[in-house]
Amino acid sequence: MPGLHLVLEAERIGSLKKGSPLYYRQVEIGRVTGIELGPTAQMVWIHVAIEQNYIPLVHRSSRFWNAGGVKVIAGLFSGVSVETESLESIIAGGIAMATPEEPGTSAEEGDHFLLAKEADEDWLAWSPKITLSQKERLTEQHRVRAGKKKKRVSGKEKR
């Protein structure tokens, strides 16, 4: 699979397998391409490939976590809340990632990251602005133009 190839290190693979999805903001941006024991057999190495157009999202400060399964939160007054990355991640397992506001250095081919068991609450709040492609720049320009205020003059719209 073309793209950026990384290695995520974990104590166990959980429900992950070859082909499990990798998500950024619940959008699939890559896949697990292989799983093996690390050189000392103390960690599992999970090989992932990030799709070409999503490579700018991944930096050395990015964080990855196991997003497989379902997280159920119940409270006496708040009721029950169910969280998951996607239906596919419930069935096939999955990984999610986030990048901080100040992302720093871009990830490079073969970089290693730790795979957390779950997301840190802070990671879920990160929302950096990262331009993905020329298409994204054009979309941003369109958004700016579409956001201009319109005035009504004698029954007609005027910009």
The pLDDT tens digits for 14-53 are 889 999 999 999 999 999 999 999 999 999 999 999 999 9
- Residue 159 placed within a domain: no
Q: How many domains does the chain have?
A: 1
- Residue 153 placed within a domain: no
Whole-number pLDDT of residue 133: 74
- Residue 157 placed within a domain: no
Q: How confident is the model at residue 1 (pLDDT cuts 50, 70, 90)?
A: confident
- On whether the CB atoms of residues 89 and 67 are closer than 8 A, the answer is yes
Is 7 a residue whose pLDDT tops 70?
yes
| Domain span at 122 | 4-127
- Residue 96 placed within a domain: yes
More confident residue, 105 or 151: 105
- Residue 149 placed within a domain: no
Whole-number pLDDT of residue 89: 42
> 99 forms bridges with which residues in the sheet?
none
More confident residue, 56 or 135: 56
Is 142 a residue whose pLDDT tops 80?
no
User: DSSP letter string over the chain?
Assistant: --SEEEEEEES--TT--TT-EEEETTEEEEEEEEEEE-TTSSSEEEEEEE-GGGGGG-BTT-EEEE--S-EEEEETTTEEEEE-S-HHHHHH--EEEE--SS--SBP-TT-EEEEESS--HHHHH--------HHHHHHHHHHHHHTS--EEETTEEE-
- On whether the CB atoms of residues 47 and 5 are closer than 8 A, the answer is yes
- Residue 116 placed within a domain: yes
Half-sphere exposure of 79 (CA within 13 A, CB side): 2
| Per-residue pLDDT tens digits for 58-115 | 999 999 999 975 444 555 666 655 454 445 444 457 999 999 999 999 999 999 999 9
Q: Give the mean model confidence (pLDDT) for residues 120-137.
A: 84
Whole-number pLDDT of residue 79: 62
Indicate whether this model's pTM tops 0.75: no
